[in-house]
């Protein structure tokens, strides 16, 4: 088993090739693009069918929750009793 592994490792190392980077002076193939590309769909007939989802999608907007700046009071009992004393 050990000999087989050693043999396979040696075979892989001997068959592998080195990759070299392109040197600075060499230029690869240059790609030149057209300045303007036009696509003409005049001769093409497109036929299709509108497919809708089976269910309805309802979007309900939530009301914005703000920090209240005014405190709403439920009773004015203390002010009412003070105003009665002032009237007397």
Instruction: Render pLDDT for 58-86 as a digit per residue (tens, 0 to 9).
Output: 677 777 777 778 888 888 888 888 888 77
Q: What is the mean pLDDT of the chain?
A: 78
Could you tell me the pTM of the whole model? 0.21
Distance of CA 46 to the CA centre of its chain: 31
User: What confidence tier does 24 reach under pLDDT thresholds 50, 70, 90?
Assistant: low
DSSP state of 25: T
Distance CA 47, CA 7 (A): 63
């Amino acid at each position: 088993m050990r000999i087989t592994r050693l043999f396979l490792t040696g075979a892989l190392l001997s068959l592998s090739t080195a990759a070299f980077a392109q040197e600075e002076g060499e230029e690869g193939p240059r790609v030149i693009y057209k300045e303007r590309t036009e696509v003409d769909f005049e001769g093409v007939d497109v036929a299709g069918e509108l497919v809708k989802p089976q269910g309805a999608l309802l979007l309900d907007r939530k009301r914005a929750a703000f920090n209240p700046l005014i405190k709403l009071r439920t009773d004015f009992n203390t002010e009412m009793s003070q105003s009665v004393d002032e009237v007397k």
